[in-house]
């Protein structure tokens, strides 16, 4: 019994105010933990919504690009045909009566080809006389010219094409440069 009295004497007596304060601290800690969990869940939810919007936007862009540029490979293959028709019309003599019907047929076919290309947003680049643009032109040579502005296109060997504003094939051009001084030419 003496041991029981000693144990009773060792346990501190809990006052109602101390119990209330401890319970309040427990509740405050629990509320704070729950608020942190809520904030983390809200942040995670916002991130998931943003990621979903990004995925949806990327998918829409991919579909749009697929529609826009689905004809790219086919169009590239047709450009050789257009080039051949243009060369045929260029090289045929308009005064030669024996080939006039053939030339007219080629011109009509070429016009139809150009109309179809335009309908599918294929734009022809014929930069003759324009300033050289490295984004749309490919220089295959430089030639001295006193009459042309330096850096302008003197000749076009092959026309370029844009498909829906994107380069499909660069124009193959000869670019002008300033003529060398006469003293360099004699030396």
Predicted local confidence at residue 16, as pLDDT: 64
The domain made up of 124-187 has a fold known as Nucleotide Exchange Factor Grpe; Chain A, domain 2 (2.30.22)
| pLDDT tens by residue, 15-54 | 666 676 777 788 889 999 999 999 999 999 999 999 999 9
With b meaning 16 or more CB within 10 Å and e meaning fewer, what string describes 74-88? Answer: ebeebbeebeebbee
What predicted TM-score, i.e. pTM, was given to this entire model?
Answer: 0.62
User: What residues does each domain of the chain span?
Assistant: 24-70, 72-120, 124-187
Region of 181 on the Ramachandran plot (φ > 0 left; ψ -120 to 50 alpha; else beta)? beta
């Amino acid at each position: 019994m003496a041991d029981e009295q000693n144990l009773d004497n060792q346990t501190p007596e809990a006052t109602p105010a101390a119990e209330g304060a401890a319970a309040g601290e427990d509740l405050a800690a629990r509320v704070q933990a729950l608020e942190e969990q809520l904030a983390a869940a809200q942040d995670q939810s916002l991130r998931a919504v943003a990621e979903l919007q990004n995925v949806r936007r990327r998918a829409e862009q991919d579909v749009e690009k697929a529609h826009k540029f689905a004809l790219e490979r086919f169009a590239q293959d047709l450009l050789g045909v257009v080039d051949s028709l243009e060369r045929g019309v260029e090289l045929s003599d308009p005064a030669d009566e024996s080939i006039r019907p053939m030339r007219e047929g080629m011109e009509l076919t070429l016009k139809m080809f150009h109309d179809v290309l335009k309908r599918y947003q294929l734009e022809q680049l014929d930069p003759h006389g324009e300033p050289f643009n490295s984004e749309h032109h490919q220089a295959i040579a430089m030639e001295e010219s006193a009459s042309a502005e330096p850096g302008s296109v003197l000749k076009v060997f092959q026309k370029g094409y844009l498909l829906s504003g994107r380069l499909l094939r660069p124009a193959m051009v000869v670019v002008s440069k300033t003529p060398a001084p006469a003293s360099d030419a004699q030396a």
